[in-house]
Structure 1
Amino acid sequence: MGGYRTIVVGTDGSETSFRAVDRAAALAADSGATLVIACAYFPERPDPRAQDALGDDAYQVTGSAPADDTVSRARDRAAVAGATKIETEAVQGKPAETLQRVVKDRGADLLVVGNRGLNTLAGRIIGSVPLDVVRHTPIDVLVVHTT
């Protein structure tokens, strides 16, 4: 596979999503593409006790710290898999919508996601991230068998 310039991969920090990161990183390494690792999150509601006790350091127990940690771990895995141009984004929002926004903002030409939720009853009834992005993303989508 060649010709891809910007590859976006979504991760939620799960081992299955990291398998998608590994595949995307290998593709980015093979094609010389920039790999953008994206993680959607919803900030936790701040606990007033944490804010009072920790002050400016309260973000470490609320908010986007877990998403930042997730993309950092994914970056490390991508580097091991051979990707050299790696960027990360922790973006507030629903996963499928967030991935589509990152794809558009970055002008990506490939989106990589894992297949978790794709073949479940809940995924068929209420939708899943891979199903939603396949239906609504106007670029190539690679669904990696991760489960």
Structure 2
Amino acid sequence: MTAYQTVLVGTDGSESSFTAVASAARLAAACKAELVVVCAYSPMRDTELAVAQDQLGREAYQVVGSAPAEDTLRTAADRARAHGVAAVRSVAVQDEPVAALVRTARECAADLVVVGNRGLRSLAGRILGSVPSEIARKAGLDVLIVHTT
């Protein structure tokens, strides 16, 4: 088995997703692999964004437009570099998270996708499907689900 050459990790700006970024960064650094950090987003008008953030409260990090996605990616890339990754690429994708991660993994020829376990054990995740379980089912390549919660 050869070492991973391209590791892809998803982030939504939450602290648990940054834990996944740190795990992916440590692995990428150990393999001397490129790290691709992906943030999916859906643009919203300011009024829609304000209503969504008000209703979501602590979960409001999930509602982003492209500017917050860029901020999230900058933070994630900085954290990855702190773990010794030499090559970090950031990608903002306008799509829902699973489709964005699977498509970007194919486009950049990733060897491994890293995601956090958030939502994996929730009731909604069991009924509707969670990002980690859907990635594992649809990616068609190695998936590492790291404990982040």
TM-score range, shorter-chain basis?
0.7 to 0.9
Q: Distance in 1 between matches of 2:76 and 2:147?
A: 18
Larger Rg: 1
Q: 2:143 aligned to 121, 141, 144, which one?
A: 141
Question: For residue 33 of structure 1, what is the aligned residue in structure 2?
Answer: 33
Q: Distance in 1 between matches of 2:75 and 2:6?
A: 20
User: Which structure 1 residue ranges, 4+ long, deviate > 6 Å from structure 2?
Assistant: none
Q: How does 1:59-98 map to 2 (within 5 A)?
A: 63-98=65-100
| Contact 1:8/1:112 (8 A) holds in 2 | yes
Question: For residue 51 of structure 1, what is the aligned residue in structure 2?
Answer: none
Q: How does 1:1-147 map to 2 (within 5 A)?
A: 3-45=3-45, 63-147=65-149
Q: Distance in 2 between matches of 1:30 and 1:99?
A: 22
| Equivalent AA in structure 2 for residue 74 of structure 1 | A
| Structure 2: runs of 5 or more not aligned | 48-63
Question: For residue 53 of structure 1, what is the aligned residue in structure 2?
Answer: none
Partner SS state of residue 117, structure 1: coil
Q: Distance in 2 between matches of 1:120 and 1:2?
A: 35
Partner SS state of residue 144, structure 2: strand
- 1-10 or 80-89: bigger deviation: 1-10
| Contact 1:11/1:37 (8 A) holds in 2 | yes
| Contact 1:9/1:36 (8 A) holds in 2 | yes
Partner SS state of residue 134, structure 1: helix
| Structure 1: runs of 5 or more not aligned | 48-61
Q: Distance in 1 between matches of 2:122 and 2:137?
A: 17
Residue 82 of structure 1 and its aligned partner are, at CA, apart by 1.2
Deviations 1:32-80 (A, max 9, x none): 1000000000001256xxxxxxxxxxxxxx8410000000000000011
Once the two structures are aligned, what percentage of the paired residues are identical?
54
| Equivalent AA in structure 1 for residue 4 of structure 2 | Y
Residue 30 of structure 1 and its aligned partner are, at CA, apart by 0.3
Q: Distance in 2 between matches of 1:63 and 1:89?
A: 14
Q: Distance in 2 between matches of 1:76 and 1:2?
A: 27
Q: Distance in 1 between matches of 2:65 and 2:9?
A: 22
Residue 81 of structure 1 and its aligned partner are, at CA, apart by 1.1
